[in-house]
Amino acid sequence: MTAQPLPFDPIARAATLWEEHVGPATVMGAVTSVMRVQQILQSAVDAALRPHGLTFARYEALVLLYFSRRGSLPMRVMGQRLQLHPTSVTNIVDRLEADGLVKRIAHPTDRRTTLVEITEPGRQRRAAATEAVTSVDFGLRGLTERQTESLTDLLAKVRRACGDFQ
Amino acid sequence: MTAQPLPFDPIARAATLWEEHVGPATVMGAVTSVMRVQQILQSAVDAALRPHGLTFARYEALVLLYFSRRGSLPMRVMGQRLQLHPTSVTNIVDRLEADGLVKRIAHPTDRRTTLVEITEPGRQRRAAATEAVTSVDFGLRGLTERQTESLTDLLAKVRRACGDFQ
DNA sequence: ATCAAATAGTAGGACGTCCTACTATTTGCC
DNA sequence: GGCAAATAGTAGGACGTCCTACTATTTGAT
């Protein structure tokens, strides 16, 4: 997994761009780094999944359904679990359904609710795609396990400060 | 700045979803955290900029031009500095130009090249927008300055491992 | 000098995300 | 019971990102 080569040091750019103008360089450096790493991870995973006709978003949805009790969940619940806007869920399920990997079924008691159920082809696709994702070096090889935990902890602090986790 | 309230703990979800199935929980936890924090930062900044009719991407482009020597840069250079695909630059410049904040001008010697120049309204817009961005609490107040640096360092390691920084 | 290869930018399309309505249904208070 | 408010999902549109062509221009090797 290799990111698009860059002809310059993005952190230096961030410092140049922001320092003294927008905020402390350290803060903007961190913000910029988060943005960039997310971009790297996203494109790496998407590249691995592309041969399987999936994106990370759709793959996550498939995994979520696969590990659910009945192989089906209300769309609302999917949105909560995947932290997506309801319309994003609609979009993703539309595409998965068009590929025959999931299907919408009626909720037995609440007629407002639509259940999304993973199909047999969907289960097979998930299995194949998981192999691809597993083989991805998330670039976190640059970190020891301890450092990875440290990274997660720091990000968790940020999220807590933002009201994430409830 | 507050993220959309979540009725569950996303890290717990990530662990549940990935552990033993895709990879070590620590790795996927970090990946998920990066994705989530990026989302939080992005939406916070965009929210602050919305009243000014800008997105973060367009604001960054404006700042880049503002701090350039001549107030203009080739589109190619903008793409390098902002780490964007050429077509993304085209898209952003299209919108900025439609708002009269920048204009395309011919390069004096290389007729392949298009220079993008910030206009006077563009400069004023940048000033106003910068105030908005400055007032954003990036949620990194959850971190001490030392921790912020630590976060940036860890992310830099990841980027280096991925071939970022060249 | 010529002409293939590299470079700069754009067009069109796919995708994911969000937002603002809007419909259908269910809840809950009176 | 009845009706307002909450809830579930969708439609349509904006935006940013990338990709695959494609055109125009410049470089550079012969």
Please tell me the distance from the alpha carbon of residue A39 to that of residue A47, in angstroms, as a whole number. Answer: 12
The pLDDT score that the predictor gives to residue B20 is 43
Confidence check: pLDDT of A128 > 50: yes
pLDDT band at residue B97 using 50, 70 and 90 as cut-offs: very high
Contact B161 A148 (CB under 8 A): no
Look at B148 and A26 and tell me if their CB atoms are within 8 Å: yes
Q: How confident is the model at residue B133 (pLDDT cuts 50, 70, 90)?
A: confident
- Residue A134 burial by Cβ neighbours in a 10 Å radius (0-12, 13-18, 19+): exposed
pLDDT at A41: 83
Q: Are B65 and B71 in contact (CB under 8 A)?
A: yes
Name chain A contacts of B15, Cβ cutoff 8 Å.
Answer: none
> Helices A75-82 and A86-98, interaxial angle, to 10°?
110
Is a pLDDT exceeding 60 seen at residue B76?
yes
B45-68: average pLDDT: 90
According to the model, what pLDDT value does residue B100 have?
94
Minimal Cα–Cα distance from A165 to chain B, Å?
5
Sheet holding B72-74, edge to edge: B72-74, B114-118, B102-106
- Say yes or no to pLDDT of B11 above 70: no
pTM given for the model: 0.79
pLDDT value at position B37?
Answer: 84
* Contact (Cβ atoms closer than 8 angstroms) between residue B42 and residue B115: no
The minimal CB distance from B26 to the residues A37, A148, A163 is found for A148
A chain contacts of residue B18, beta-carbon cutoff 8 Å: 63
Least confident of A135-144, A155-164, B128-137: A135-144
User: Which nucleotide minimizes the distance between its C1' and the CA of B87?
Assistant: C10
Q: Which residue is nearest to nucleotide C23 (CA to C1')?
A: A112
DSSP A108: S
A26: nearest CB among B4, B26, B149? B149
Provide the pLDDT for residue B9.
Answer: 40
- The band of A15, judged by pLDDT with boundaries at 50, 70 and 90, is very low
Q: Looking at this protein, which amino acid is placed at residue A14?
A: A
Q: What is the band of A100 on the pLDDT scale with cuts at 50, 70, 90?
A: very high
pLDDT of residue A146: 87
- The distance (Å) linking the CA of A97 with the C1' of C7 is 42
Q: Which residues of B touch A77 (CB under 8 A)?
A: none
Q: Name the closest residue (CA) to the C1' of nucleotide C27.
A: A110
Band (A111; pLDDT cuts 50, 70, 90): very high
Angle at B151 between CA B147 and CA B152, to 5 degrees: 120
DSSP 8-state class, residue B29: H
State which of A3-7, A136-140, A148-152, B32-36 shows the largest mean pLDDT. A148-152
- Say what percent of chain B tops pLDDT 70: 78
Q: Could you give the angle at the alpha carbon of A135 between the alpha carbons of B161 and B152, nearest 5°? A: 30
User: Which is more confident, A127 or A39?
Assistant: A127
B155 burial level (CB within 10 Å; 0-12, 13-18, 19+): buried
Reading the block at residue A71, the tokens are 């192989």
Q: What mean pLDDT do residues A87-103 have?
A: 96
Per-residue pLDDT at B32: 75
> If DSSP codes are grouped into helix, strand and coil, which group holds residue B113?
coil
Nearest CA-CA partner of A30 in B9, B142, B25: B142
Residue A74, chain B, CB below 8 Å: the answer is no
Pick the range with the lowest mean pLDDT from A70-79, A113-122, B129-138, B142-151: B129-138
Q: Give the separation between CA A103 and CA B5, rounded to whole angstroms.
A: 29
Residues by CB within 7 Å of nucleic chain C, which ones?
Answer: A 55, 57-58, 83-85, 87-88, 91-92, 95, 109-112; B 39, 43, 74-77, 79, 86-87, 89-90, 93-94, 104, 110, 112-115
pLDDT at A132: 85
Beta strands across the sheet bearing A102-106: A72-74, A114-118, A102-106
